[in-house]
Amino acid sequence: MQRTRSPWAWLGIWMAAATIFCGALASAQTPQPHRTQNVILVMIDGMRWQEVFRGADPALLPIPGPEWVGKSEDMTAAAEAHYGQATAEERRKALMPFLWSVVASQGQIFGNRDLGSDSHVTNGLDFSYPGYSETLTGFADPRINSNENLPNPNATVFEWLNAKPEFAGQVAAFGAWVVFNGIFNRERCGFPVNAGYDPFTAIPPTPELNLLNTLKAETVRIWPGEPFDPIPFHTAIEYLKVKHPRLLFIGLGETDEWAHKLDYPAYLDAAHLADQYVRDLWELVQSMPQYRGTTTLIILPDHGRGDGTDWNTHGVKHPGSEQTWMAFLGPDTPALGERRAGTVVTESQIAATLAALLGQDYHAAVPQSGLAIQDVLGK
């Protein structure tokens, strides 16, 4: 015999359901607690969005590089074997496996124009100093119109944060390119900036640091103002282990240098190594109590490059050079993965976004800067 529920039973069911619904609604409307206490910004000079999202270009892979850096036929064959998979998705995973395994599943990546996602610089010049300055200060300054190693008249968000008591002495910048000394205005900014071939002596020497300083002094200098990426990267790692900064910049440069040399295999290898360094960095901070679960990682270039056979260079005369990409991974950034059409992001928004991740309102202090990227903040 079918039993019918009493009115009181139905009332209890409806009250329980209402309680669950209201609890879920309140949970959805209650802001999640802010967790990021540290930010690491990694910039990969001149790394094109095309390789990030499509992998190695099949049309460029067979083109031999210059003989002077090695036997071009062997380097081209090795690049095709390492990065020449059948599909764009396979090629990009082979080139940047950390980006497409961890960041794509746990963070956000902007700039795939094949999906309608737009990331770009706003400075109208599309080369390095203007790109770095826009990214680090939050706005394009027409006075920044060359790559000369001149002191930046504008304070970067790193300098702005270092001036606050809660960040003082907990900020540092390391880069391959000697011009980072000017971009961060090393003489004024008040925190360690180590770039180019300058020895790093701001912390007590360790065997690793002594070796790195020796390599800076003794290795062959293909580029007068820029060592190979392993040197600034591992110098930054030594500093991180000793000083535990809350805000750290690492600037890698080989992608841009090899591209300008028309060496596509070396450019791909440099991008692959940069991805490995980002993985090493992320795994290191997750192993350290000071950083585990409280660190956000930001990755992007300073500008784009031309398309097709124009891939090796950039600037206003080379269409597409303003096009960039950016990636975010951290405890406050929702795992939205590869972004599609909708939100347009610019490099001028990085400074405010970085500060907001640390609980600071940079845009209010510097109104000409771009607004923080709300999707990255989980808002």
Residue with more model confidence, 4 or 67: 67
Residue 339, pLDDT > 60, answer yes
**Amino acid of residue 282:** W
240, 248 contact by CB (below 8 A): yes
Tokens of 113: 């124009």
- Model pTM score: 0.91
Which tens digit of pLDDT belongs to each residue from 158-185?
A: 999 999 999 999 999 999 999 999 999 9
Beta strand residue intervals within 231-352, DSSP E: 247-252, 295-300, 326-329, 337-338, 344-346
Distances, alpha carbon 205 to alpha carbons 190, 242, 316, in Å: 21, 10, 44
For 263-272, how does the pLDDT look when each residue is reduced to its tens digit (9 = 90+)?
999 999 999 9
Cα 105 from Cα 123, distance rounded (Å) = 31
Sign, Cα dihedral of 18, 23, 27, 29:
positive
What average pLDDT is seen over the chain? 92
**3-class DSSP assignment, residue 347:** helix
Interacting residues of 264 by C-beta distance below 8 A, sequence separation 6+ = 56, 57, 60, 61, 63, 65, 79, 311
Instruction: Specify the CATH number for 36-377; select among 2.60.120.260, 3.40.50.1370, 1.10.530.10, 3.40.720.10.
Output: 3.40.720.10
Q: Is the dihedral of CA 355, 359, 365, 369 positive or negative?
A: positive
